Amino acid sequence: MTLSAIKPAKFEWFPYEGFTFCLGLSEGDAAWTSGHTSARHDEAIGKMTVEGSMETQARIAYAKCLAILEAAGFGPEDVTRVSENITVAGLAAYDDAAGVRKELLGERPTVRTVIVERLVRRAAWIEVELHAVKGGGAQLRAASEAREAGTWQASAITEGTDGVVYLPTVTPIDANGDVVFEGDFVSQYRYVLERAGDMLEAVGLTLGHAVTTYDYSTPETRAVYRGTHKVRKELLGNNAGGVYPGAGGILMSQLHAPGALVAIDVTASRHPLEIVNPGWSRYDTLTYAPGVKAGRMLFMSGFAALDMETQQALHDGDLGKQAEATYGAILTLLEHAGLGPEHLLETTEYCVESYVGDYKAVANVREKLLVAPWPASTGALCKALLRPEFGLEVFPTALYPADHPAVTGVQA
């Protein structure tokens, strides 16, 4: 089986051919959509437009994603994970979006909520991305109305395709709804990882099964971010191979609640973890891996324009060249894994807000380096990245073909 682009016979919001991303991908009993806002093409003015309240925008965004899934034979009952990018400007109206989601999907899927600086369409407040598995995967823990420590919203924990387990976004909020360790970033970071560990243990796993930890913090935490190394070294990588998960760090001006300095999205797998590293020695002392193979999935750390030998940031101020270096590193990792750009399943791009005027240059790089069926993709704007020289960071995931030697164990 190979990844196939989902191409609805009718998609009323915009003509979708010609982009360097697909509306969504499917393979067998699984499907993944790109991130979609409420943007639609207005023929009268020849542009994409966004309008309406948070509820209106959420209804349109969900209608798009569900139409894409329907074109591949999936329904709302098959959705296993929801990712919602909510802008700082739209955060106050988030409950309206959550109401739309519950109306359409119930409380079965895992919900991840990322607070972003804004979206590429300035008037958009919400972007939605869906994962689906026929039958809805396995719900490992139902959503509970009683607040659980570490949660922001009630959410299920689900197992999707190929043993992948999704946690909801974990925040430094206790069971009373209060932010813990106010002003202490490292303590909040530890609290959040420990709560993620509690959630995994409740479904028969541990933090040693984590394949990615993507964290969101604020620019003020840069000065103390190195303090997370000790926490990660203690809590992560406790598995047979000593494999740390892939990781990424994005900075936003505001997170889920006043006083929250970090939030983390954790993905885990039931498969044994194998490190995938083309020979980049910088990862020898880090608490994250460039790539982690688990079953048929290749989970990767966030990539930016970095010289892997000298660890110097590259092309400060030139987003196009940064994108070339970033996607070049991703392709190097894929090649080492015996894969190519056609095996890219998802890419999530975070562009620093001050670079948004040059963001089209990234599409030009994708057109040059990536190929059809094009990955399911999501893009959002952040306040900054951990290295101030960076304007772009990409979180990629790839899927090994079922007959790949790394999956079957049989060499050609």
pLDDT confidence of 1, banded at 50, 70, 90? Answer: low
Q: Strands 210-217, 262-269: parallel, antiparallel or unpaired by DSSP?
A: antiparallel
Please name which of 24, 22, 59, 269 lies closest in space to residue 130, comparing C-alpha atoms: 24
d(CA 294, CA 269): 7
Q: Tell me the sheet residues that pair with 397.
A: 299, 346
Q: Are 112 and 82 in contact (CB under 8 A)?
A: yes
Please name which of 65, 401, 211 lies closest in space to residue 410, comparing C-alpha atoms: 401
The reply to whether the predicted model has a pTM over 0.85 is: yes
Please name which of 120, 93, 107, 103 lies closest in space to residue 38, comparing C-alpha atoms: 120
Q: What integer is the mean pLDDT of 181-201?
A: 98
pLDDT confidence of 46, banded at 50, 70, 90? Answer: confident
pLDDT at 145 exceeding the cut of 70:
yes
User: In the prediction, which pLDDT does 20 show?
Assistant: 94
pLDDT at 412 exceeding the cut of 90:
no
Report the Cα–Cα distance between both ends of the chain, in Å, rounded. Answer: 17
DSSP at 207:
G
Q: Which residue has the higher pLDDT, 409 or 179?
A: 179
Q: Are 33 and 59 in contact (CB under 8 A)?
A: no
Tokens of 329: 């590193």
User: In the prediction, which pLDDT does 50 show?
Assistant: 95
Question: Percentage of the chain with pLDDT > 90?
Answer: 94
Please name which of 1, 109, 3 lies closest in space to residue 343, comparing C-alpha atoms: 3
52-102 residue pLDDT tens = 999 999 999 999 999 999 999 999 999 999 999 999 999 999 999 999 999
d(CA 61, CA 277): 37
390-405 residue pLDDT tens = 999 999 999 999 999 9
CA angle 102, 105, 107 (to 5 degrees): 60
